[in-house]
Structures are given as C-alpha cells and as structure tokens.
C-alpha cells in the first residue's frame, strides 16, 4: 500500500464517519447492528423487538440517509479542495 493509498483510505473513513454522525441515533444503531455486528435482518428485529419487515424498512431508510449524507459530505469536500483548504 502506498502513502497515497493510505491517505485516500483515511480520507474515506473520515468522510464516512462524518456522514454517519449526521444520522439519527436510531439509524446509526441499525447500521451498526447490520454492518458492524453483522446481524441478519431477523436478528436485528429480535434484538430491537420489532417485526422483521420493520427492521428491513428502517435499514432501507438508514442506508438512504447515509447515502445522502455521504453525497453532501463529498460535495463539501470538493468545495474545500477547489478552494485549497481542508
């Protein structure tokens, strides 16, 4: 891995962390259970004591909001880069 690759990886992680912080606590919890704890939809539903369909729906909206936050973060980063700032 080159220094440039490492810098890109750190930048991507920072961008994801900032976008994640923009989400509601409920959406952060759902995404953490799914992608960090690697729970299935059924396991998430059981953990949160909600129907499986509700778990899937809430995950859908959590991902949609994360994508929107990442797009906004990317636009902000592009603006900072074009102005020469961080």
> In whole angstroms, what is the distance from residue 81 CA to residue 43 CA?
42
Domains and CATH numbers, the chain: 3-83 (1.10.10.10)
**How high is the mean pLDDT in each 10-residue block of the chain (86 residues)?**
77 86 96 96 97 97 96 78 58
Predicted TM-score of the model (pTM): 0.76
> Can you give the pLDDT at residue 14?
86
Tell me what pLDDT residue 27 has.
97
Q: How far apart are the first and last CA of the chain?
A: 24
């Amino acid at each position: 891995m080159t220094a440039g690759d490492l810098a890109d990886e750190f930048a991507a992680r920072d961008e994801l962390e900032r976008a994640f912080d923009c989400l509601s606590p409920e959406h952060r919890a759902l995404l953490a259970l799914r992608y960090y704890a690697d729970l299935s939809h059924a396991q998430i539903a059981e953990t949160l004591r909600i129907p499986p369909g509700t778990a899937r729906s809430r995950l859908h909206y959590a991902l949609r909001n994360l994508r929107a936050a990442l797009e906004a973060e990317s636009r902000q980063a592009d603006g900072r880069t074009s102005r020469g700032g961080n």
